[in-house]
Amino acid sequence: MAKALDFYIDFTSPFTYLCNLKLPDLVAKYGYQLNYHVIDIPTAKLAAGNYGPSNRQVPAKIKALMQDLNRWAQHYGVPFKFPKGLVAWRMNIGTFFAIEKGRARQYVDEGFRLVWGEGVDPNDDAVLRGLAAKAGLDVDAFMAYVASREGEKAYEASRVAAHARGVYGVPIMIADDQIWWGNDRLMFVEEYLKAHAA
């Protein structure tokens, strides 16, 4: 069985957008398989016992955070734009459909580019349809899935499994018994993967 790195994501996370720009190629470089796991940040925080306010509710923190995000985007040479909305449960659910169809990376890459590169509303039907098409998915089947009970159950199961594993936010990356949290931990991820190359 190929070695794997589990990558926990939520399309509402700008730092996961940044992390996803580098992680897939990094994982492939050392012979690992990248497994995407979708969670919901507020649910994960509460499940982990973190009842504090969101970053957007702390003015001093959001000011520094936005500057930091713009610095990272400039460092990576990519656009960064705060999205028109942060309701992403349907886009998150769509990841399971993309995984099933073997189009996970295409879907996740394009989803993050749309939300945090272009600043679109992830809950807009036109955005979702365009994302599905760009990822090479059957658009009508995709739209049916993201509104289905099947999709909801997959999302719920993913959240429960993540909590059981100790996932409390995103981006979190796990390989073997090692856990990394944040885009700024990629150098440590690489050190580990290089030392344990598949």
Q: Is the dihedral of CA 65, 55, 129, 131 positive or negative?
A: positive
Decide: helix, strand or coil at residue 5.
strand
What DSSP element (H or E) covers 179? strand 178-181
Catalytic residue, from 13, 54, 148, 158: name it. Answer: 13
Decide: helix, strand or coil at residue 198.
coil
Told to judge if 148 belongs to the known catalytic residues of this protein, a careful annotator would answer: no
Residues with catalytic function: 13
